[in-house]
Structure 1
Amino acid sequence: MEILILGKKDRVTPLHLAARNGHKKMVEALLGKGAAVDSREENKWTPLHLAAQNGHKEVVEALLGNYAEVNAKDDQNLTPLHMAAVLGHKKVVEALLRKGADVKARTRKGSTPLHLAAQNGQKEVVDTMLGQEDAEVDTRDDENLTPLHMAALFGHKDVAEALLGKGSDVNARDYLNLAPLHKAALFGHKEVVETLLLEKYVVVDAKDNKNWTPLHMAAKDGHKEVVEALLGKGAAVDARIDKNWTPLHLAAQNGHKEVVEALLGNGAAVDAREKNNWTPLHLAAQKGHKEVVEALLRKGAAVEAKGENNWTPLHFAAQNGHGEVVQTLLLEENLVVDATNNNNWTPLHMAAKNGHKEVVEALLGKGAAVDARIDKNWTPLHLAAQNGHKEVVVKEVVEALLGYGAAVDAREERNSTPLHIAAQNGHKEVVEALLGKRADVNTRNQEGLTPLHLAAYTGQKEVVEALLQKGADVEAINQNGSTPLKLALQNGHVEVVQILLQEYAVVD
């Protein structure tokens, strides 16, 4: 595909200026005084390039009459014919062709004037060049693109019809193995798609280098009318790309409800599995596309389907905080609210870890096990206490869990409680919420560490103060014989040291 760069103004002669502005008499006068007809400016444009670019037919003829080089090339190998063709100056094109302009001339990227005219939808110029004996309708550029590819890519139906009428190969492939139908489908050019589909030998399920068909491309980008046109011509509704995705996977992931419905209405497999065993419902839930989720469920999508690592759609929605999708899934009769993945995480663990209060409440409202354990024996409360979301978010999640009876002193594999974890991570408001629910302020983990030890060790000044206010033992000794003060001293937490000394700590 060619991108044209305008020339610089350096080294422009009076003849260049006169030609560019269409001043025929001035051009003739300058030529009569011996002006160099093929003088070059900075980008090697001749006066003929400029006259052709700006559509000045009479100036073009005057220059050609003075033996201007008709196929002069600039620094991108553009000829005057390229210039006139891309901008649709039909009469200039005809004048150049009469003087032997090369219809097969190529730019540095291999584009012919026909490529550029097709790209810009210059139908009359396309017709003119196709009328030349030496014109090649399926000429290829450096990316193996034909003019028909260009017309399809940019949505020029009339140009596509003209090219096809001259025998252009409807199934021609570029360097990525893309056919014109791929190009038109990708960008949603419905009329071009319909034009291509009228061709007797069109391959509706043509596959590119990654096995994408035109239907995959249209589905991914939400082009409903193109999807319907392709399906109407028998496109394979469950065709697979390299990752084993179907068009339905692509439409579901990208939230294109109408495309999803069109595919399902044409028999798409609602629970098709890709290489990680995800169904379209997994992908829609992961991205939070509620309407797509509803459309899939109406067609019987398996709400309990498990993909890689045994994740369900509910795991995905809970992890990402998609409250509306969670609520939709929770309405399904077959939903398992406490489904576990390979690490024994339930959707509640996911929501608690990521600070999604509304999702936590929705799951608990449907009976989710508030103290369910993952592999390290952590409960959702441990996860909520650990994570460094905004303090208010963590507090709200913790309070929601506690409100549904979460065990405030639940112990994980190292015997730590949520209070240990919140103290260590400096979540003051969470510490206060746990203490408000009568968490044991002096509880010890397997190393004999209290929450105060951990807060002192990590320099959590405000947490230290909150724990002391609730009666934390300032002189507690862990298994290594260290007090909170000793740990604060060892780690250089001066403010914590000062607070502990004020509590009459015994200095070792």
Structure 2
Amino acid sequence: MSHSSSMAEAENQKQLLRLIQEGRLDLFKEELQRDEEMSKEVRRKHYGKSGDTLLHYAARHGHLNVLTHLVEALEMDIEMFNNDYKRPLHEAASMGHRDCVLYLLDKGATIDCLKKADWTPLMMACTRKNVEVIKDLIEHGANPLLKNKDGWNCFHIASREGDPQIIEYLLTVSPSSWNTESKIKRTPLHTAAMHGCFDVVKALLERCPYEPDSRDKCGVTPFMDAIQNGHIDIAQLLLEKHKACYTASDAVGAQPLHQAAVTAQDEAIRFLVSDLGANVNERATSVQLTALHYAAKEGHTSTIQMLLSLGADLHAKDGKSRSALHMACAGQHAACAWLLLQAGLQDSLDDTGTFARQLAKKPDVLQLFRGINIST
């Protein structure tokens, strides 16, 4: 085949895909009538890196008339899968195209077909706030208790998306679906708290008997998830309805206060210290780090200011005699180091005989110590 004819064919293929994506069935039919060879080829052809077929494109874009033509006139196989083992039903379900879902089911599509990482069409549907498609799949026999490769069932996935109507529906049709955890022992309550889904957390606390402060593999509780992501309303709800413990420690010994310092959730820190009475100088891990150490290590100037305003000990040393200045300099965080020096923190030796300034490498951090003599 000459270079020019292969270019022309590639352009024809692109044009076909464009017509399918735009739902222009008449023009698509005309193109195929002009080229009988192409008409045969497109039935089995996989396109691009993803290996999608025309059916995938039609289902993803929700063009029922195109989908019907491909299945009935071109006799394409509805179980054709792409490089991720996605079938047209996965596409229609994940995009919430109800008419396409119903058509494929009516044509006998496998209801619980698995794509890469063991996702079913029902799981894909649960990533959208489209309760009708979820109902259609379940009424056609989809199994809501199947888990994907990470150990998530469809209820767990729906908990992340935040639609309480879907949560209520799934609990009605599959009352045990709440009782699930991922491979790293995270529950739907962890996930909803982490993603700030207040209404879902409320529904879960009302309808599902989760153990208070259940821990994932890293020892993280739903309350910690809420705090370290700045969802104070959810943290309050977990305290009120679930008697969550605001001083619980994770697997390495960090409390919500320390986790909030790592993620710069300054208002959550204020909530923990001012409203709940958490100790702003609480130590974490075997190295005895304070929240100020964590904030300096991560380079969060606003968090350092918040902690100091709440009475954090500027001069606190960890178990290796390192101050927050050591942490800021080791992380090359010039603004944090400057802030700590301005607040009155003096450089000092740690257990290895190292000053914080000796950890400075970047010019803007080194500049802070110009003209300051090293002295013990």
Q: Establish whether TM, by shorter chain, passes 0.5.
A: yes
Change in Cα spacing, 1:162 to 1:328, as seen in structure 2 (3 Å) is: same
Q: What residue in structure 2 maps to residue 272 of structure 1?
A: 180
Matched, 1:359 2:268: yes
Alignment partner of 1:308: what SS? coil
Q: Indicate yes or no: 2:151 matched with 1:244.
A: yes
Which residue of the other structure, out of 282, 285, 292, is the alignment partner of 2:193?
285
Matches within 5 A, 1:416-455: 416-418=322-324, 427-430=337-340, 445-446=350-351, 454=356
Rg larger in structure: 1
C-alpha separation in 1, matches of 2:55 and 2:295 = 58
1:76 corresponds to 2:13: no
Q: CA deviation at 1:215?
A: 0.7
> Residue 323 of structure 1 is aligned with which of 214, 220, 232?
232
Count residues in correspondence. 354
Alignment-derived partner of residue 210 in structure 1? 117
Contact 2:248 2:256 in 1 (8 A): yes
TM-score (norm 2): 0.74
Residues in 2 aligned to 1:89 and 1:142: alpha-carbon distance in whole angstroms: 22
- Structure 1 residue corresponding to 2:321, chosen from 415, 419, 422: 415
In 2, Cα distance between equivalents of 1:444 and 1:43: 73
What is the TM-score when the length of structure 1 is the normalising length? Answer: 0.57
Alpha-carbon RMSD across the aligned residues, in angstroms, is 4.4
Query: Closer, same or farther in 2 for the Cα pair 1:427/1:303, shift >3 Å?
Result: farther
Q: Which residue of 119, 127, 130 corresponds with 1:223?
A: 130
Sort the Cα spacing of 1:321 and 1:431 in 2 relative to 1 into closer, same or farther, 3 A: farther
Displacement after TM superposition at 1:376 (Å)? 0.4
Q: Distance in 1 between matches of 2:105 and 2:173?
A: 18
Structure-to-structure mapping, 1:110-259, within 5 angstroms: 110-111=41-42, 139-142=43-46, 148-161=55-68, 168=75, 171-176=78-83, 177-199=85-107, 201-259=108-166
- SS of residue matched to 1:188: coil
Q: 1:174 to 1:496 in 2, by over 3 A?
A: same
* Structure 1 residue 393 displacement after superposition: 3.6
1:275-309 deviation per Cα after TM superposition (whole angstroms, max 9, x unaligned): 22222222233333333333333332445121122
Q: Which residue of 2 aligns with 1:105?
A: 38
Structure 1 gap ranges (5+): 1-41, 46-72, 112-138, 464-487
Q: Deviations over 1:411-463 (max 9, x none)?
A: 42123455776798654444565x5xxx8x698754677xxx64598599xx9
3-state DSSP class of the match of 1:496? coil
Q: Which runs of 5+ in 2 are unaligned?
A: none
Q: Tell me: higher relative CO, structure 1 or 2? Use CA pairs within 8 A at least 6 residues apart.
A: 2
Residue 89 of structure 2 aligns to which amino acid in structure 1? L
Secondary structure of 2:371 counterpart: helix
Instruction: Name the aligned partner's letter for residue 277 of structure 1.
Output: K
Could you say what secondary structure the match of 2:293 adopts?
helix
* 3-state SS in 1 of match to 2:117: coil
Q: Distance in 2 between matches of 1:374 and 1:277?
A: 22
C-alpha displacement at 1:218, in angstroms? 1.2
The verdict on how the C-alpha distance between 1:330 and 1:168 changes in structure 2, with shifts beyond 3 A counting, is farther
Moved more, 240-249 or 364-373: 364-373
Please state how far the C-alpha of 1:313 moved relative to its aligned partner: 2.3
One-letter amino acid of the structure 2 residue matched with residue 178 of structure 1: K
**Which residue number in structure 1 is paired with residue 214 of structure 2?**
305
Aligned equivalents of 1:396, 1:446: Cα separation in 2: 28
1:377 to 285, 288, 291: 288
Letter in 2 for 1:366: L
C-alpha contact 2:308 2:314 (8 A) present in aligned 1? no
Shift of 1:259: 3.6
Q: Distance in 1 between matches of 2:72 and 2:5?
A: 37
